[in-house]
Structure 1
Amino acid sequence: MHSRRTVLSAALGTALAVAVPPAAARAATGTTYYVDSSGGNDSADGTSTGTPWRSLARVNQQVFQPGDTVRFLAGRTWTGQFAPKGSGSAGAPVTATSYGTGAKPVIAGANTVPSAVLLENLRHWTLDGLEITNGTGSTTWRVGVEVRAKDVGAVPGITLRNLYVHGIDGVAQVGKGNIGSAGILVDVRGNTVPTYFTGMLIENNEIADTKAYGITTWSTWMQREGWTSLWGELNIPANEYGPFTPSTGLVIRGNHVHDVGSGGINTNQVADTLIEYNTVARATSTTTNVGIWWSGADRTTVQYNEVYGARFGGRGLDCTAFDADASTHDSLVQYNYSHDNGGGFFISVSLGSAPASAVIRYNISQNDGNEIFTFSTNTDGVDIYNNTVYVSSSPSRPLYKIAQVYHNPKNVTFRNNLFVNLANLPYDTAGITYRNNLYRGGPVPPDTAALTGDPKLTAPGTATSRADLTGYRPLTGSAAIDAGLAITGNGGRDILGTALAATVAVGAVQGAPGSYGAPIASTTMGTGQGTVAALVDGSEATSWASPVAVTLPGDITLDLRTVRRVAAVTLATHFGQGQGFTRVDVQTWDGTAWTSRLTDAALTWNSNSSTVERRTLTLPTPVDTSRLRLVVKAANRQWGNIALNELTVT
């Protein structure tokens, strides 16, 4: 097991008693309350910007109802603990957020309370757009946001978004991580009523400068497979543990966790968890921790994350990007970018007595150190395929092996992986089957169909972010192209979003430039004449036209079938003055959302004849994207419909 633990034992301070005025009249949609730490008055009704409350003590005495909102004035600071009362309901959560302009309002625990924000036994609550700190340089373990439940059954509907959580106190010392201390801590206590969270969303937060964890969850309802208690630093009594009852449907998405002392993102006692599109940087100043790890976890999906900068703590310790830890089953790790982690890319630890079915696919590891893959403590059933591992010939951190075995793994397979092993690292073989991997540099382990040709990658080792992985695309003539084994249920796409063909390449990226085929066009506007496929068929003689009664705005989307660098988009049309687009937005897809690169771009056409005219819209800066969308806001409609002959990107 790993020494990555934390404690929360200090008692909560007693809130200052404040006279509470009669409840405000409540609309069906809830009441909005305002709080101003400088200009407020706790004797006011708090229901307008002109009559705000002043203190956290006053806010904490209010029993909020479904649909209520409490707004803290931007640019203001409150010292102490925000510990509200009252729950929302499905479709009508209680929300704490800001009002006014300026910096996020600050809830500062100032090392006077265990947690700066405490949501205890509350359902359907949202925190949005707050800054939270809890430290003054003390060595006492503290928490930024704590979501706690005890002996209350299912707890649905908690959302934490757009928070900046930082400056969380604890022991700033190597090896002193504590799993009861975190920027965001979700914990379940008790053993009389099985208790668990459902549908929790933690998204788009920044967590930094915490002495222990970034985001972590755990529960005393955790006993199975010989695991009988949690970590010692929690000081939980031995009789406070119950049978495994996981929190379900947790989503941790789009967070930036950096410069924290212990694990970056860590989920324990969970089922059906999704961890995606997060960036975790320098998440282990301790000697034994991991960027993203999970334990007591079933059906965890970890995808589209970037993890880097975990420090090297020594051989036999963690410090990897990812870790499927004790009692985990059916993990899926895909489409992630790991680099410059001192301990390596992935470790599995005691996956439990039941079959684990961990799948590690379509990830890229660049210049990770130590042991790139580590298999420890009864690992059983890990399938590793179509990953690309790049190790420099002059590494900046200690390196030992591509694959390291510690404690009797079973049923570990490596298939269709591409190893660019310029440091000549060896591979352990006990309990591991190698088949159809491509080896460039270094020794070749026993492999039933080893490939040793030149992968001819575009620019390996040069990636700077998860959006910058095209350097791992194999060029024409690469030994990786069309060399992969067919694998059922392979996800259908590579790490760049390219659709997989019937014959796949070895490694995380498919094909050579130009081998993906033409983009695929679609539209929300319907088709009156021609076909939408005509927009990408390479011929300006064919065209698409909308129905006569088309409603604007409408979209045309190009699936580029790979990540491409797009600098401009060109529209070709005839009868432009009669049917041509005149005002459009150009948007690109970043993997999670559309981003407008040009807004209300104007197009002017000179002709209303069969002569094809072209107009090029240049983006402010080139963008790497797998999809492009044209939002048509206005057009010439002489005959009621609108039309386009060809849509190309360059």
Structure 2
Amino acid sequence: MFRKTVLILFSLFVFLPSLAPSGWLPSANAAGSTYYVDCKATTAGNGTSTSPFNQLASINGVTLTPGDTVLFKRGSACNGTFAPIGSGSASSPIGIAAYGTGTARPVIHANGQEDAVRLRNIQYVHVQDLELTASGDNTTARRGVHVLGQDAGDLYGITLSNLYIHDVRGYMPSTVSGNYHGTGKYANASGGIVLQVLGTTVPTAFHDVRIVNNLISSVDRQGIYVWSNYCQRTQLAEFWGSLCSGAWKPMTDLIVRGNTLNDIGGDGIAPMTVEGALVESNTLAGFNVRSNSYNAGMWTANSNAVTFQLNDTSGGKTTLDGMAYDVDHSTSNVVFQYNYSHGNEGGFFLLCPQGRGKPVNFTIRYNISVNDRARMFQSCSGEVEGQIYNNTMYIGSGLSPVIYEENTSQPQTVRFRNNLVYKEGSGNVTWSLNDPTFVLDRNVLIGVPVPVGATNTITTDPWLVQAGSAATDGYKLFAGSAALGSGAVIAGNGGRDYFGNPVSAGSSPNIGAFGGPGLLPAVAAPLAHYRFDETTGSTAADSAGTAAAALKNGPVWDPAGRLAGSLKLDGTDDYVSAPVGISAGAGDFTAAGWVKLGVSAGTSQTILQQEGTSGRTWLYRETATGQLGTFLGGSALLGSGTIPTGAWTHVAVVHRAGVVTLYVNGSSSGSAGRTIEAQTAPFRIGAHKSPTSANPNWNGQTDDFRFYSSALNSAQIYQLAHP
């Protein structure tokens, strides 16, 4: 239909470029009329191209018929409500769009009215290429587009596309007396685009609705909202009963796709009482900004078989919900898949049953969460039943969310499988989970306590490509990851992962949102590399070409090292002075090398320290326990890995985006957030700059030390430790 219509319109408008509308228009059959509106025109016209209407009242008085087109002039602005009357047909919808030169959309300011555009009890209408505002004081309803069905039966064929809707100031709980949580939603909702069914006498529903490629910015309360008064059914949560005027009559064939929303007062995209709806490829940045009530990014309630996929949600405010996504009450067969969530104060997901309105058979799979805050998952007061599998959750330094917060004594019949949860840096994550029916199986938990009853849990580093990255490619897996092929086979898995890789129906999948083959890590180029393979002399060559290191006070060359040659240090005064030139406080870095302890001494023995007044001990061994530690940032971090006496051990420290991580023999040993002082002085390999009996120098051997002005990933560190 799209291609055919464009070709028809091209033939009509090719010789009239100043009148040609941009984008798609409905059928231009011979029976249809075209009406022109230019609110900048100084005289009232008759709606032709040479004598356009100059006010909304004129076009509102025309009864439109199938195939008609209404065109608003670019560069013009109208005040009031555009409320067309008359319907199109399936083969000849009514088109509403723009004409004229330039790219600026025609503007309609509601100018004190509730709606900029109102489509009431009409069908087969396509609206595009307009800019809409609805200013106000947030004490009454306001909408950019209001699609309203009221005692009209079944209505079909509404398309809203390429609209720019902004500065809609409708009422919210925070702006009216009483702070009722439902102000601005349910019936008579406010927001950017509101599709709602009211009335009490004739059951009504919309079908075949498309809301696509719109920009919605700074609106109150809702971004895109769908509501119906015909919502009563047996499984409905009790508190909604008074909101319904008739039996459940869902809207069907609703698609919300490719929209960009930001600075939303309340909920982002929230379709209620729908069946088979698809919400995909939308971007939402900033929601629950002003409502001071419970709102989520994208969610549904009292609906069946709704799919949310390929969406990006961030910037949710407050912990009054504030999650990116929500499977709410009275729903069945809701699927959230291939979505990205990041930086939401309330967290990742809400599961919110109410009374008898439990969510049934929901599926949450192959999603990625990065630095969501209060909760990864929270369950409200009621029973839930569904699956949570193959999601990847990264929790950065300073964050202490609850992984699953159970706020009910009702059964949590949830299977939590094949998920990867990676905690890095400071902060402590917890579980608030007591239900024995909650199944945890084959999950990777890093820096996360393993709940009682969990089975087949993996706690070794999964080798994420770039943990902490804002780009989702950072949550793929390197070859050799323990998460590869370690998951449970799950029936009906959707057939693909977050990244579009196929997922087998019969073979053991990966754990996490990445289902493809492991990637080979890039070979990192060191800033300095001291092999210690010389057999004579007082300098150690830098094979990276930065600067040779000086041997101080007589270290002894030893041809028997870990890789080839090595240096023996006596623990008294000899060391290697390496002028590497890394600025410790300026960004990411890595230092790695081999050590072999000969004699244990003091409280701690220095492996690597930077000189200068603010130079810190990068690596040391805690004598009592053998643990590898670092003093970067001015406080001790002791890892779980240990350095024995008399055996070669690979040690490394990595600083990435404010987080310091220790590695022993290629495995992550501990991490913490650190603010590191700036320092560019040389390094001492095997010595403290002011050694004491409590903090003596290294007594043993050292080999193959490397320095990088970047943060190596886990797989790259593993490669260094397993040459």
1:287·1:311 contact (CA, 8 Å) conserved in 2? no
CA distance in 1, matches of 2:42, 2:121: 28
Instruction: Give runs of aligned pairs for residues 255-334 of structure 1, distance below 5 A.
Output: 255-285=259-289, 286-313=292-319, 317-334=320-337
Provide, for residues 473-532 of structure 1, a one-character-per-residue CA deviation record: whole Å limited to 9, x for no partner: 1111211111111112111111011112433110001244558xxxxxxxxxxxxxxxxx
Amino acid at match of 2:338: Y
Which of 193, 204, 211 is equivalent to 1:195? 204
CA distance in 2, matches of 1:100, 1:494: 45
Distance 1:241 1:287, change over 3 A: closer
Q: What SS class does the counterpart of residue 44 from structure 2 fall into?
A: coil
Pairing 1:453–2:460 present: yes
2:29·2:67 contact (CA, 8 Å) conserved in 1? no
Distance 1:230 1:89, change over 3 A: farther
Q: What SS class does the counterpart of residue 490 from structure 1 fall into?
A: coil
CA distance in 2, matches of 1:448, 1:503: 16
In structure 2, what is the equivalent of residue 158 of structure 1?
Answer: 158
Amino acid at match of 1:210: V
Instruction: Give runs of aligned pairs for residues 343-362 of structure 1, distance below 5 A.
Output: 343-350=346-353, 352=356, 356-362=360-366
Amino acid at match of 1:208: S
CA distance in 2, matches of 1:239, 1:353: 15
Q: What SS class does the counterpart of residue 452 from structure 1 fall into?
A: coil
Provide, for residues 235-259 of structure 1, a one-character-per-residue CA deviation record: whole Å limited to 9, x for no partner: xxx6970011110111000011110
1:33·1:71 contact (CA, 8 Å) conserved in 2? yes
In structure 2, what is the equivalent of residue 629 of structure 1?
Answer: none
Q: Which runs of 5+ in 1 are unaligned?
A: 1-25, 233-237, 516-650
1:222·1:229 contact (CA, 8 Å) conserved in 2? no
2:236·2:357 contact (CA, 8 Å) conserved in 1? no
1:220·1:230 contact (CA, 8 Å) conserved in 2? no
In structure 1, what is the equivalent of residue 369 of structure 2?
Answer: 365
In structure 2, what is the equivalent of residue 167 of structure 1?
Answer: 167
CA distance in 1, matches of 2:124, 2:246: 25
In structure 2, what is the equivalent of residue 379 of structure 1?
Answer: 383
In structure 2, what is the equivalent of residue 36 of structure 1?
Answer: 38
CA distance in 2, matches of 1:429, 1:252: 37
**1:375 to partner: Cα distance:** 1.4
Q: What SS class does the counterpart of residue 282 from structure 1 fall into?
A: strand
CA distance in 1, matches of 2:396, 2:62: 59
Identity, % of aligned positions: 39
Pairing 1:505–2:510 present: yes
Amino acid at match of 2:162: N
Distance 1:226 1:470, change over 3 A: closer
CA distance in 1, matches of 2:265, 2:254: 23
Distance 1:485 1:392, change over 3 A: same
CA distance in 2, matches of 1:484, 1:347: 24
Q: What SS class does the counterpart of residue 218 from structure 2 fall into?
A: strand
Q: How many residues align?
A: 473
Q: What SS class does the counterpart of residue 276 from structure 2 fall into?
A: strand
Pairing 1:444–2:450 present: yes
In structure 1, what is the equivalent of residue 223 of structure 2?
Answer: 214
Distance 1:297 1:184, change over 3 A: same
1:419·1:440 contact (CA, 8 Å) conserved in 2? yes
Q: What SS class does the counterpart of residue 97 from structure 1 fall into?
A: strand
**1:450 to partner: Cα distance:** 1.1
In structure 1, what is the equivalent of residue 344 of structure 2?
Answer: 341
In structure 1, what is the equivalent of residue 691 of structure 2?
Answer: none
Which of 190, 193, 197 is equivalent to 1:181? 190
Instruction: Give runs of aligned pairs for residues 391-540 of structure 1, distance below 5 A.
Output: 391-395=395-399, 399-407=400-408, 408-422=410-424, 423-427=427-431, 428-430=433-435, 431-445=437-451, 446-463=453-470, 468-501=471-504, 502-513=507-518
2:70·2:97 contact (CA, 8 Å) conserved in 1? yes
Q: What SS class does the counterpart of residue 215 from structure 1 fall into?
A: strand
Q: What SS class does the counterpart of residue 471 from structure 1 fall into?
A: helix
Provide, for residues 29-60 of structure 1, a one-character-per-residue CA deviation record: whole Å limited to 9, x for no partner: 4111111112264342x232x12111100000
1:260·1:284 contact (CA, 8 Å) conserved in 2? yes
Q: What SS class does the counterpart of residue 470 from structure 1 fall into?
A: helix
Distance 1:338 1:152, change over 3 A: same
CA distance in 1, matches of 2:145, 2:310: 25
Instruction: Give runs of aligned pairs for residues 57-136 of structure 1, distance below 5 A.
Output: 57-102=57-102, 103-111=104-112, 113-136=113-136
Q: Which runs of 5+ in 2 are unaligned?
A: 1-27, 521-723
Distance 1:435 1:138, change over 3 A: closer
Cα RMSD between the aligned structures? 2.2
Distance 1:42 1:193, change over 3 A: same
2:74·2:98 contact (CA, 8 Å) conserved in 1? yes
Amino acid at match of 2:264: V
Amino acid at match of 2:73: L
CA distance in 2, matches of 1:110, 1:512: 57
**1:228 to partner: Cα distance:** 7.8
**1:424 to partner: Cα distance:** 3.1
CA distance in 2, matches of 1:63, 1:39: 22
Distance 1:92 1:84, change over 3 A: same
Q: What SS class does the counterpart of residue 299 from structure 2 fall into?
A: strand
CA distance in 1, matches of 2:500, 2:138: 46
In structure 2, what is the equivalent of residue 561 of structure 1?
Answer: none
1:281·1:309 contact (CA, 8 Å) conserved in 2? yes
**1:124 to partner: Cα distance:** 0.3
Runs of 4 or more consecutive aligned structure 1 residues displaced over 6 Å after TM superposition: 228-232
Q: What SS class does the counterpart of residue 159 from structure 1 fall into?
A: strand
Provide, for residues 284-309 of structure 1, a one-character-per-residue CA deviation record: whole Å limited to 9, x for no partner: 11342100011111000000000001
Q: What SS class does the counterpart of residue 59 from structure 1 fall into?
A: helix
Per mean C-alpha deviation after superposition, the further-off stretch among 423-432 and 294-303 is: 423-432
Provide, for residues 330-385 of structure 1, a one-character-per-residue CA deviation record: whole Å limited to 9, x for no partner: 00000000011111111111175577110000000111011110112323212000
Distance 1:239 1:320, change over 3 A: closer
Instruction: Give runs of aligned pairs for residues 524-603 of structure 1, distance below 5 A.
Output: none
In structure 1, what is the equivalent of residue 649 of structure 2?
Answer: none
1:204·1:256 contact (CA, 8 Å) conserved in 2? yes
Q: What SS class does the counterpart of residue 272 from structure 2 fall into?
A: strand
CA distance in 2, matches of 1:40, 1:125: 29
CA distance in 1, matches of 2:357, 2:226: 23
Structure number with bigger Rg: 2
CA distance in 2, matches of 1:363, 1:458: 17
CA distance in 2, matches of 1:199, 1:400: 40
CA distance in 1, matches of 2:422, 2:325: 20
